Amino acid sequence: MRQQQKIVFANDFRSNSNAKELQAFGEGKDKKSLEADKISIKVAGRLMLNRGSFMVIQDVTDRIQLYVDRHNLPDNVLAAIETWDLGNIIGAEGYLSRSNKGDLFVYLTKVRLLTKSLRPLPDKHQGLSDTEMRYRQRYVDLIINEEVRNVFRVRSKIITHIRKFLTERNFLEVETTMLHPIPGGAAAKPFKTHHNALDMDMFLRIAPELYLKRLVVGGFDKVFEINRNFRNEGVSARHNPEFTMIEWCQAYADYVDNMNLTEVLFRELAQLILGITDVPYQGKVFYFGKPFIRLSVFDSILKYNTDITEDDLKDIEKTRAIAKKVGADVKGFEGLGELQTIIFEETVEHKLEQPTFITQYPFEVSPLARRNDEDPTITDRFELFIGGREIANAYSELKDTEDQAARFMQQVKDKESGDDEAMHYDADFVNALEYGMPPTSGEGIGIDRLVMLLTNSPSIRDVILFPHMRPLAK
């Protein structure tokens, strides 16, 4: 090709329509009326079928047929068409018409190759059947599988609606730093890097929470960020080390306000994406239209473990024995609340099928949450579970500076004892709180898991364009 023509990979073709627009324009019109209009069309796309007389191209919107009239096109063009491979990208000019069978097509007056595909597309019958290869070569997966392309259209639609939902409620979208001098805002192991010019170690963000709360201190009462977070954890069907969250903080609100807001948001998203509030997922149905269940950690353990009593959960030695019995490693966990949380995680989480707000987490496992006014051993916090998976985490924010400093110090002790997910002491955040933060509640929602639910996708890798994978063996 390089020997035969001056330019192989052209960049001078400009389309004036796409396949979906052409399908819509041609709907309800017969061959006679289309050819009478004879509107000039320029369309481009990837060659997906080449039968000589008819070709099919695919663009970002849909597919459209092209009709090759051998009496109308030059011999050199006809000869070139016969050599074109599936996967090539071509530019076509002509006008809309219909076949005698009623099929819509573009009657070609000009057509040329824009990009030569050097690799063959997967077999049209088998497709790209290797799941791991689909994730590694997402670009091929997107070419072949319309349902995959639709997942990412839906993902974009979800994020767009969340942004609209919050801005309509007077939230300000912000962008906070992704390189942190101290990792914070969540219990997670961070990725570490080094800044050469400043000669200092830095950490990829595990959460934006502490910076959003700094902004509330600064006077922005309602802020949100749709952000990438990075956590140095394992890879699974529910975990990717790089993931997307929406986090917001709102002043003069508490965690109950966020529960109410979350229910409205999830119902709107289900209605937008599915047209209904009953969400089918992997053979189950989750009912977003009904009030979400609200249950404390303590009460949920009793509900799902009929052999455990209230007195058992209030006695630290009995609680420790129960935690051991359910298979948990309790080494290093000394607090009653910590042991209760372990029992909850082992025996309850996976049973929370319908949308459920689990509330009143013990303060030991909630270092950034406000203590409950009536019972200081628990916090005004919830996590939302759907299908046995955590989807959201929220709480009334801790604004008592001395309490926050003490909890940071306990986190430091936990880290020194071997907990690599414990938090650092963030002196600047404590300094910010000393200027005074209004009563505030914040929330984080995992976008990837939410998209999994609304697209009926079994793995987080199905909803991330380029998921992280182990290197292929050499």
- Is residue 102 in a domain? yes
Tell me whether strands 89-98 and 63-67 are parallel, antiparallel or unpaired.
unpaired
Supply the pLDDT for residue 131.
Answer: 83
User: CB neighbours (10 Å) of residue 138?
Assistant: 18
Separation between Cα atoms, residue 251 and residue 397, nearest integer Å = 9
What pLDDT is attached to residue 125? 56
Do 179 and 47 share a structural domain?
A: no
Query: 80 and 192 share a domain?
Result: no
The reported pLDDT for the residue numbered 126 is 62
Establish how many alpha carbons lie within 13 A of residue 418's alpha carbon, considering only the half-sphere containing its beta carbon.
3
Same domain, 266 and 380: yes
In a domain? residue 126: no
Number of domains in the chain: 2
Q: Which residues contact residue 259 at a Cβ distance below 8 angstroms, ignoring those fewer than 6 apart?
A: 292, 294, 357, 382, 394
Query: What's the CATH code of the domain at 181?
Result: 3.30.930.10
Q: Has residue 251 been placed in a domain? A: yes
Instruction: Name the residue among 412, 432, 433, 434 with its Cα closest to residue 423.
Output: 412
262, 309 Cβ separation under 8 angstroms: no
Q: Which structure tokens are listed for 51? A: 């039968």
pLDDT for res 123:
77
Question: Scanning the structure block, which residue is given the tokens 């990438």?
Answer: 228
Do residue 84 and residue 202 come from a single domain? Answer: no
Could you tell me if 355 and 251 lie in one domain? Answer: yes
- Choose one of 88, 121, 154: the last residue of a domain: 121
Q: What is the pLDDT of residue 45?
A: 98
| 85 is a domain residue | yes
- The CATH code of the domain that includes 50 is 2.40.50.140
Range of the domain at 41: 19-121
Same domain? For 166 and 73 the reply is no
Q: Quick one: pLDDT at residue 52?
A: 82
Specify if 193 maps to a domain.
yes
**What pLDDT, on the 0 to 100 scale, is given for residue 124?**
63
Do 263 and 367 reside in the same domain of the chain?
Answer: yes
Q: Same domain, yes or no, for 374 and 228?
A: yes
Asked whether 449 and 460 are in contact (CB, 8 A), the reply is yes
Does 265 share its domain with 157?
A: yes
CB 426 within 8 A of CB 184: yes
Same domain for 56 and 105? yes
**Cα dihedral sign, 306-309-310-313:** negative
**Domain co-membership, 109 together with 220:** no
Please check whether residue 447 lies inside any domain of the structure: yes
Q: For each of the chain's 474 residues, which pLDDT tens digit applies?
A: 888 888 889 999 999 999 999 999 999 999 999 989 899 999 999 999 999 899 999 999 999 999 999 999 999 999 999 999 999 999 999 999 999 889 999 999 999 999 999 999 987 656 667 888 889 999 999 999 999 999 999 999 999 999 999 999 999 999 999 999 999 888 889 999 999 999 999 999 999 999 999 999 999 999 999 999 999 988 887 889 999 999 999 999 999 999 999 999 999 999 999 999 999 999 999 999 999 999 999 999 999 999 999 999 999 999 999 999 998 888 877 799 999 999 999 999 999 999 999 999 999 999 999 999 999 999 999 999 999 999 999 999 999 999 999 999 998 888 888 888 888 899 999 999 999 999 999 999 999 999 999 999 999 999 999 999 888 877
Side-chain half-sphere of 99: how many Cα atoms within 13 Å? Answer: 11
Statement to judge: residues 164 and 24 lie in one domain? no
Nearest to 191 by CA among 225, 245, 228: 228
- Residue 147 has a pLDDT of 94
